[in-house]
Amino acid sequence: MKKAGLAFLALCATFTQAHAQSAADFFKNRKMTLVTSASVGGGYDQYARLLSRHMPKYLPGGPSMIVQNMPGAEGIKAANYLYSVAARDGSVVGGLQRNTGLAKFYHPDNSNAQFDARKFIWLGSTQQEIGFFLMRTATGAVDLNGLKQRETTVSSTSRNSPSSIYPRLLNALYGTKIRVIEGYDGSQTSLMAIERAEVDGHVSGGTSANFRARYRPWEKSGQVAIIMQLGMERDKEYPNVPTALELAPDETSRSIFEIAFVEQVMGRPFVLPPEVPKDRVEVLRTAFDKTMTDKEFLEEAAKQGAEIDPVSGARINELLDKVYAAPPALAQRVRDLVQ
């Protein structure tokens, strides 16, 4: 028993010493890991590898950072690992998917999601998404009033994707008459459906470089117009196109879309596990923020077509706290509409 007690005290002393290290000492020559929820080659993986190459230069002591891919269950596998298994000392960074933050909000009984998103320490996001509502001008439904007056069709991948959820919210809250045609296997085929006149339009969750390149020729020729934006703010390229929030018919509708658009703000989020020492959190958040304005980082991102529109970790934490504190009746209304 005496030996066991001594061993326990020694372990506690080691733990205390590790946490008592200065941030500079801790990160010196440290081999860090960036666990991304994406498979190799995808968009989330692209941002993770960009960050891993440039963020270490803003950390003291010359650490290195390697990327570990952990795909599975739409990002839930990596989130569970970061929450319950990963070291909580600042040596592990996580790259999550933007829907992870609201996973337990939309599905409180989801036993697969074994984490509380509010307890992650959010470093920030490299990009915030803004979706576009594209409509063929031949339909005549080129604004909200037009969408209320006539039935239109839009292409979508599946019922749980933004391309289906957002139109359903517009129908329920704004009185539009949008019929969603699901089953397309991605954003490019969804856009191709517009080109082939299989559908009247498409509501996107995001707007990648490839997405914009696809529709721009149609926009220039006047065949397609962007009639609404799906996000917290207007895209810089379309300052005169209103957002769904600005067109909200009442405060409840606005509040529901504000909850739905939190995922848009989170875009390409990066986190730390809970309970990382505060001084290391400060160092890591500062390094993340400085990386977002680093010339070499921005140049490499531009070459890869990776848009950089950063959001601070503090803002993400604030948004999640607000969502999960929503009145029960409002929260249930959102869940009912999204299902």
Confidence of residue 10 (pLDDT cuts 50, 70, 90): very low
Q: How much is the pLDDT for 12?
A: 52
Predicted confidence (pLDDT) per residue in 34-68, tens digit: 999 988 887 889 999 999 999 999 999 999 999 99
Nearest alpha carbon to residue 205 among 77, 49, 126, 99? 99
**CATH code at 40?**
3.40.190.150
Of the CA atoms within 13 Å of residue 302, those in its CB half-sphere come to 8
Please list, in sequence order, all residues whose beta carbon lies within 8 angstroms of the beta carbon of residue 115, skipping any fewer than 6 positions away. Answer: 79, 80, 82, 83, 84, 104
Average pLDDT over residues 185-204: 93
Clarify whether residues 63 and 120 are in a common domain.
Answer: yes
User: How many structural domains is the chain composed of?
Assistant: 2
- Residues of the chain with pLDDT > 70, as a percent, come to 94
Residue 5 has pLDDT above 60, yes or no: no
Residue 114 has pLDDT above 90, yes or no: yes
Clarify whether residues 10 and 116 are in a common domain.
Answer: yes
Domain span at 45: 2-127+267-338
Predicted confidence (pLDDT) per residue in 196-240, tens digit: 999 999 999 888 777 888 999 999 999 999 999 999 999 999 999
Q: How much is the pLDDT for 209?
A: 76
Surface-to-core class of residue 293, CB atoms within 10 Å of its CB (0-12 exposed, 13-18 middle, 19+ buried): exposed
Q: At residue 295, what is the residue type? A: K
Q: Cα angle vertex 207, ends 314, 103, to 5°?
A: 50
> Mean pLDDT over all residues of the chain?
91
The last residue of one of the domains, among 260, 283, 305, is: 260
The last residue of one of the domains, among 204, 233, 260, is: 260
Clarify whether residues 139 and 111 are in a common domain.
Answer: no
Identify the sign of the CA torsion 198, 202, 208, 214.
positive
Asked whether the beta carbons of 187 and 211 are under 8 A apart, the reply is: yes
Question: 175: left (phi > 0), else alpha (psi -120 to 50), else beta?
Answer: left
The last residue of one of the domains, among 260, 290, 323, is: 260
**CATH code at 206?**
3.40.190.10
- CB crowding 167-206: b at 16 or more within 10 Å, else e: bbbbbebbebebebbeebeebeebbbbbeeeebbbbbbbb
